[in-house]
């Protein structure tokens, strides 16, 4: 592992977690690779406590597994898992749209618009959290338990989305679909949201599976 010459965010943990995510996506850290806490700390000149914090973030989002005080193992990307994950996420988000869109207040729509702008302007290190925040803003009027389930599914799918962005370079398509979802929220159009969610999420899982 080599330390980059500069750090691009004030949060060392977020910067390092994004660095390790990129290494996993690009194959520098391949599936089933053992990552040692001491090696990461030495290579990136950070404390072991920071590495443990980073491992917790990566474990939460399914980037790594078998986490201990000394090491972790890179989780593999699986085609079958991608399809199942994105299909279950699509089902949850369709239900969230059905619950939320008819009840969205003006302030909630404005918050969703702000979340969309934040996602558009997010630096790489912040993109995952900005992506989650945008989707959750759309479903602000849904049941809280459903919102939590949607968040869990989005975070679980994020490593596959990073793979898609890196390999397929389809940021433009993703942005246009986000804008369509936002427009559907503005006009409280649930049917339109369902169509966009199917294209944006279900098809995404199948496309990723084809590339794995």
Query: Following DSSP, what letter does each residue of 20-42 receive, concatenated?
Result: HHHHHHHTSS-TT-EEEHHHHHH
Rounded to 5 degrees, what are φ and ψ at 123? Answer: -75, 165
Indicate if 168 and 121 belong to the same structural domain. yes
CATH of the domain at 39: 1.10.10.10
Indicate if 181 and 139 belong to the same structural domain. yes
Indicate if 128 and 141 belong to the same structural domain. yes
74's tokens: 């890179």
DSSP 81-122: HHHHHHHHHHHHHHHHHHHHGGG--HHHHHHHHHHHHHHHH-
Look up the domain containing 183 and give its range: 79-211
CA distance 13 to 52: 9
Indicate if 17 and 112 belong to the same structural domain. no
Cα-based torsion angle of the residue sequence 212, 174, 157, 70 in order, rounded to the nearest 10 degrees: 80
Contacts of residue 145, defined as CB under 8 A and 6 or more positions apart, other chains included, come to none
Q: What is the pLDDT at residue 50?
A: 93
71 forms beta bridges with 36
Q: What is the pLDDT at residue 149?
A: 96
141's tokens: 């009027």
Asked if residue 1 is part of any domain, the answer here is: no
CA distance 173 to 175: 5
Run of H or E residues at 64:
strand 64-65
Q: What is the pLDDT at residue 168?
A: 72
Q: What is the pLDDT at residue 189?
A: 96
CA distance 20 to 25: 9
CA 121 to chain centre: 16
Indicate if 68 and 85 belong to the same structural domain. no
pTM metric for this prediction: 0.76
CATH of the domain at 156: 1.20.120.530
CA distance 55 to 97: 33
Asked if residue 156 is part of any domain, the answer here is: yes
Q: What is the pLDDT at residue 169?
A: 67
The number of domains in the chain is 2
Indicate if 113 and 199 belong to the same structural domain. yes
Q: At what angle do helices 12-26 and 48-60 cross, to 10 degrees?
A: 60
Mean pLDDT per 10-residue interval, the chain, length 212 residues = 42 88 83 94 93 91 88 92 94 97 97 97 84 96 96 89 76 83 96 90 89 84
Q: What is the pLDDT at residue 7?
A: 42
Q: What is the pLDDT at residue 110?
A: 98
Rounded to 5 degrees, what are φ and ψ at 128? Answer: -60, -50
The rounded mean pLDDT for the chain is: 88
Contacts of residue 56, defined as CB under 8 A and 6 or more positions apart, other chains included, come to 67
CA distance 71 to 49: 13
Q: What is the pLDDT at residue 5?
A: 35
């Amino acid at each position: 592992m080599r330390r980059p010459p500069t750090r691009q965010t004030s949060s060392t943990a977020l910067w390092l977690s994004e660095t390790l995510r990129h290494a996993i996506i690009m194959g520098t850290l391949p599936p089933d690779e053992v990552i040692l806490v001491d090696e990461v700390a030495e290579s990136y000149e950070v404390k072991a406590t920071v590495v443990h914090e980073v491992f917790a973030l990566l474990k939460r989002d399914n980037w790594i597994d078998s986490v201990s005080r000394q090491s972790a193992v890179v989780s593999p990307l699986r085609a079958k898992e991608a399809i199942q994950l994105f299909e279950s996420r699509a089902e949850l988000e369709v239900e969230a749209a059905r619950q939320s869109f008819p009840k969205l207040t003006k302030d909630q729509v404005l918050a969703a618009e702000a979340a969309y702008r934040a996602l558009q302007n997010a630096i790489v290190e912040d993109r995952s959290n900005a992506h989650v925040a945008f989707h959750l803003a759309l479903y602000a009027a849904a049941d809280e338990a459903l919102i939590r389930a949607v968040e869990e599914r989005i975070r679980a799918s994020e490593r596959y989305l990073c793979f898609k962005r890196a390999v397929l370079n389809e940021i433009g398509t993703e942005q246009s679909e986000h804008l369509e979802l936002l427009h559907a929220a503005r006009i409280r159009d649930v049917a339109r949201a369902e169509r966009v969610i199917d294209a944006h999420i279900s098809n995404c899982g199948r496309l990723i599976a084809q590339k794995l």
